[in-house]
Amino acid sequence: MRHGLLVRVTHWVMTLAFFALLVSGLEIVLSHPRFYWGEVGNVNTAPLFKIPLPSSRDTVPTGYGYVLPDQNGWSRYLHFQSAWVFVLTGVLYVGAGLLAGHFRRNLVPAPAEVAPKRLAGKIWESVRLRRPGAEEAWSYNAVQRMTYLVVIFVLAPLVVWTGLAMSPAFVSAVPSAVNVLGGQQSARTLHFVVTLVLMAFLLAHVSMVALAGFWSRMRAMITGRAAEPVERV
């Protein structure tokens, strides 16, 4: 077996939830494609940066001569529901992984693997998207494992935290959650930036899967079985 049942199920559930979050999040951004820093931000405030896209609201100055259809209602509902699916599935995956020792056994690199010279070589291989050999295709190098750990234990919690920090109900109950970020507009900006980083990870992840053998990797993540005799991860 290449992947256990829990890993496969949570992987695909979180994948679907993430895509739903991206689609709904894009529509929410279009309602106000301007980003600020601090507690307050509106059309009368100079933005930290803005996205060169038309808005779905005629009150937002974008420089375009038209307004997109406003789909803010369903997008916010879908975003909220998908976020809960993403969080609960992620908690299940992390909790089970910690109890089973999955992260320590399969993702934490050995000290020798993070030696500067060796690590630099693996980073260069990842950057230039070198096709791995037959043995490497079914194993994670140190860079990949460290990246997965950062995504699981840093970026995913941060995107959830910044999302909650934009909720008035959550902020009223836990004001320190947004204060430490610098305000609700800061939380919104950080939420957007972290999402972009996660999207970059997704593109790199799919590219590496394609290089290693797309259909064999997909089969392993769907059925749990791999053509090559490999250890379970």
Per-residue pLDDT band for 1 (boundaries 50, 70, 90) equals very low
Map out the domains of the chain as residue ranges.
5-223
The superfamily (CATH) of domain 5-223 is: Transmembrane di-heme cytochromes, Chain C (1.20.950.20)
Per-residue pLDDT band for 120 (boundaries 50, 70, 90) equals low
Phi, psi for residue 215 in degrees, rounded to 5: -70, -35
Round to whole Å and give the CA distance between 201 and 86.
17
Give the list of residues 6+ apart from residue 74 with CB closer than 8 angstroms, or none. 24
Per-residue pLDDT band for 119 (boundaries 50, 70, 90) equals low
Q: Read off the pTM.
A: 0.84
- Answer yes or no: are the C-beta atoms of 64 and 33 closer than 8 Å: no
Q: What is the pLDDT of residues 34-47, one digit of tens each?
A: 999 999 999 999 99
Q: Is the pLDDT of residue 187 over 90?
A: yes
**Both structure tokens of 83:** 């976020």
∠ CA(221), CA(230), CA(211), 5° rounding? 55
- Answer yes or no: are the C-beta atoms of 63 and 51 closer than 8 Å: no
Helix (H) or strand (E) holding 218: helix 184-223
